[in-house]
Amino acid sequence: MHLILGGTFDPVHHGHLRMAVELRERLGVDRVALVPCHIPPHREQPGTRSEDRLALLKLAIAGEPGLTVDDRELNRQGPSFTAETLSQLRDELGPREPLAMVVGMDSFAGFHRWRDWRRIPELAHIIVVNRPGAELEPQSEPAQLLNQRKAAAINELHGRPAGLCLALDLPLLEISATGIRERIRSGRSPRYLLPDPVWQAIRDRGLYRDEV
Ligand code: ATP
């Protein structure tokens, strides 16, 4: 199974990294690919250049064979549409290999506003990670999708290439990139919220200091 975790990673932190490790173990896969987006269509634009976010990600996963970075969205022009990324991956993997994308419940609540969202379950499984405070409107389209395609157990995902939805509870760290950016901007330390080499590179590059 090929498993991807997309995000802005502005910057990557221990919340992302722990989630990726927990997922890798729960799903029983060799690797999780972190996919930084170039221009996120559904949220505020990252204040940091793609190449800086990518460099920080590479530092964060250095020496960890279970995590990789897939920078394909940074090499594409224009907004990063997940359907397009999954379609490229499907072409590369062939029709039979299971492909799964991971998304936090907070993002999944707006899934029906993603470009070509109905194509996504045709291309991949969707693993929705529960996050405190994030709930679905029971009648909403994402809630219906989750119900209609619900996998009874993790193992089912390995038996089909795409099409299932799985809501997963994982032990999560209460860390957000927003909180890290705010700390740096106001001169407080983000140490221990993210890997030390990432914090060092943020200082070397002078990132997040003068964001508005
Ligand atoms: P921001 O604070 O800028 O919104 P973020 O920390 O939420 O950023 P993103 O890059 O937007 O990070 O998140 C990428 C993915 O990781 C999303 O699916 C999001 O739900 C998930 N995620 C973010 N923070 C955590 C965390 N602490 N634990 C688990 N998952 C997280």
Name the helix (H) or strand (E) containing 116: none
Ligand 1 close to Cβ of residue 110 (< 6 A)? no
CATH 3.40.50.620 fits 2-175, yes or no: yes
The pLDDT assigned to 36 comes to: 95
Q: Residue 7 C-alpha to ligand 1 middle, in angstroms?
A: 7
The pLDDT assigned to 131 comes to: 83
Domain ranges of the chain: 2-175
**Residue 172 alpha carbon, nearest atom of ligand 1:** 28
The strand pairing partners of 6, in sequence order, are 35
Residue 95: count of CB within 10 angstroms of its CB? 8
Ligand 1 close to Cβ of residue 8 (< 6 A)? yes
Q: In angstroms, rounded to a whole number, what is the distance separating the alpha carbons of residues 101 and 126?
A: 5
The pLDDT assigned to 77 comes to: 80
Provide the token pair at 195.
């890997």
Ligand 1 close to Cβ of residue 190 (< 6 A)? no
**Residue 180 alpha carbon, nearest atom of ligand 1:** 2
Low-confidence ranges of the chain (pLDDT < 50): 212
Q: In angstroms, rounded to a whole number, what is the distance separating the alpha carbons of residues 119 and 109?
A: 17
Ligand 1 close to Cβ of residue 17 (< 6 A)? no
Ligand 1 close to Cβ of residue 200 (< 6 A)? no
The pLDDT assigned to 46 comes to: 62
Ligand 1 close to Cβ of residue 107 (< 6 A)? yes
CA Rg value for the chain: 17
**Residue 14 alpha carbon, nearest atom of ligand 1:** 27
- Per residue in 118-174, pLDDT (tens digit) is 999 999 999 999 888 878 999 999 999 999 999 989 999 999 999 999 999 999 899
DSSP H stretches of helix in 7-49: 14-27
